[in-house]
Chain A
Amino acid sequence: MPPLVEIQEVTRRFGALAAVDNVSLEIAEGEFLALLGPSGCGKTTLMRLIAGFGAADSGRILIGGRDMADVPPYERPVNMMFQSHALFPHMSVESNIAFGLARAGMSKGDMGRRVAEMLRLVQMEGFGARRPHQLSGGQSQRVALARALARRPRLLLLDEPLAALDRKLREETQFELKAVQRELGTAFMLVTHDQGEAMAMAGRIAVMRAGAIAQTGSPREIYESPASRFVAEFVGGINLFEAVVVSFAGGIASARLDGASDFVFTARCSSPLAAGQKTALAVRPESIVITRTGGAPPAPGALRGEVVDTAFLGGIFHARVKLASGFVVLSALSGPAAAELGLTRGDSVDASIGPGGGRILAS
């Protein structure tokens, strides 16, 4: 099956700045894609190009195999949920949802049925007669979702849809959005700067940086095998050790850590590296294993350090360990493991990298 949306080498410039810089991306029928990146990375611009607000300076956007270059926003088979929700303040909730249906020339009877169906979908039955200013943030978010989905678009664009909600509500809503997406089978493209949100909801994540796609992959791939220093730092917590490549062969690289001449680490690396090249070793906090020293010198592959700070975060326990080199490593331990170790500030410990836990980054 051909992809629903094909973005082919699209560039969009604002003055000298390329907000979207030669981006190619595909969105499959029915998938949940998250476009993740820091603010100003061009993710919103790219989404607006898909919706038809603004034109690409070069490149093509195809939806359902059709070039969208001359198709205005009101004729595209996509709908958008705005960050501000953009509910029409002078219309009732019902009229808001029916607005797009009336533009499509739907009969009154069908319209009433569809509006009721959408209200049920977002669990807002009984709110049809309300005005937008009588709704809470969470309720207006639901109405905006219902309105955007009422026309049964092939692709729904969501621009930071949960930004206006408080944390608890945001987490609940994430699951609800996912459930709605599964139920309808509509492709969703979520634009967000919140990596937690992207990981929780999306089947596939495209990480964007400075107008370009830095990496695409499943949340697990992005998290476990970041392609670059930027992705590693942006998605989840990370320890980055400066290192120099010793050798590279068959996708396996060896690198020596800066400030620890005898510490050589070997790991998979997606792109070829040259010996002597500067690189970084990325280790997730939960892959840092901590053991008490017990007097003996550190085992091979372990670095000695001192606990400088601890934090109990409920299910997880964070320990910051200052190594001999001065580098501070963050380790995340599960609650029971931490309880067994009983770490406190000033303890002398050995830190090592758990099996399969490190990645040598190409850039």
Chain B
Amino acid sequence: MSGRPLYFRAGALIFGFAFLYAPILLLVIYSFNASRLVSVWGGFSTRWYQALWQNEALMDAASVSLRAALASGVIAAFLGTCAGLALARFGRFRGRAVFSSMIFAPIIAPEVIMGLSLLLAFVALDAPRGFWTIVCAHATAGMCFVAVIVRAKLESLDGCLEEAAMDLGAGPAAAFARITLPLAAPAVIAGFLLAFTLSLDDFVLASFVSGPGSTTLPMRIYSQVRLGVTPEINAASSLMIGFVAVSLAAGALAARLFRTR
């Protein structure tokens, strides 16, 4: 513990949190504003949430976002787990160093460049842009995070566990299914939730690879905001923040429930 006085540490903490969350809090508060004017408080109301329910364009966008996040999250969890396993378990195979640094590339590379390159790839493949190209782009970005998390988890496990299982009569498939997979499960779930959240949040990749009829919620919000901020947008954004917060909390909870040591 540092010797600094309590009020200093508490102050620093409050300032830090305020810096991060005050704008978001403001947005959430104004989503309950009864007034149509965004910057004038007109009393508490949930009318904008009701209006949101009737706004088909926003609801459609939300549905696209949720479905894309779910699909890309599942694909990212599967591919990322495979990649994480390969990096953690298969020793020094040829090209391991290249593979392990390339898995970080999509995390580090500017999103704009990734979006552009994905768009070029889809054009070259003559793939019709729409829901599935968004899923594909988000799965690509998400799997890197899953791979990194799964790999870290597997490397923290005792390497003898699988050998012990095989020594006790389990073939490679049984050892994987009964020992490796259950122990990696919290990392896979955490990775899935992270990929899910990233997909839900993403604006840049989606705006590159989406097509007509597949507008995600962030894209819809952005295009509406250009015409002026409405309290309805505040409500939609607040719901999105809530959703992301809940799924991140679920990830943390899953990691805690499955914690083995």
- Interface residues, chain A, with chain B CB atoms under 8 Å away: 51, 53, 72-75, 79-80, 82-84, 86, 88-90, 99-100, 103-104, 133, 147-148, 151
- Chain A residues with Cβ below 8 Å from B174 are 103
Q: List 7 A-B contacts (CB under 8 A).
A: A74-B169, A79-B167, A79-B168, A88-B179, A103-B170, A148-B167, A148-B168
Once the chains are docked, how many angstroms separate the CA of A205 from the CA of B152?
Answer: 41
**Considering only CB atoms, which chain A residue lies closest to B160 in the complex?**
A86
A84 touches B169 (CB 8 A): no
B164 touches A89 (CB 8 A): no
- Chain B residues with Cβ below 8 Å from A86 are 158, 160-161, 163-164
B164 touches A82 (CB 8 A): yes
- Interface residues, chain B, with chain A CB atoms under 8 Å away: 158, 160-161, 163-171, 174, 178-179, 182-183, 258, 260-261
- Chain B residues with Cβ below 8 Å from A73 are 163, 166-167
Q: How many contacts A-B (CB < 8 Å)?
A: 60
- Chain B residues with Cβ below 8 Å from A90 are 182-183, 258, 260
Cβ contact of A103, chosen from B163, B169, B260, cutoff 8 A: B169
Once the chains are docked, how many angstroms separate the CA of A103 from the CA of B173?
Answer: 12
With A53-B163, A84-B158, A103-B174 already in contact, the answer to whether A89 and B183 are too (CB < 8 A) is: yes
A133 touches B261 (CB 8 A): yes
Once the chains are docked, how many angstroms separate the CA of A82 from the CA of B179?
Answer: 16
- A79-B168, A82-B164 given. 13 additional CB < 8 A pairs? A74-B171, A75-B169, A80-B164, A80-B167, A83-B160, A86-B163, A89-B161, A89-B260, A90-B260, A99-B170, A99-B178, A147-B168, A151-B168
- Chain B residues with Cβ below 8 Å from A147 are 168
Q: How far is the CB of A5 from chain B (nearest CB, A)?
A: 16
Q: How far is the CB of A88 from chain B (nearest CB, A)?
A: 6
- Chain A residues with Cβ below 8 Å from B171 are 72, 74
Once the chains are docked, how many angstroms separate the CA of A99 from the CA of B260?
Answer: 18
Once the chains are docked, how many angstroms separate the CA of A53 from the CA of B182?
Answer: 23
Once the chains are docked, how many angstroms separate the CA of A89 from the CA of B183?
Answer: 8
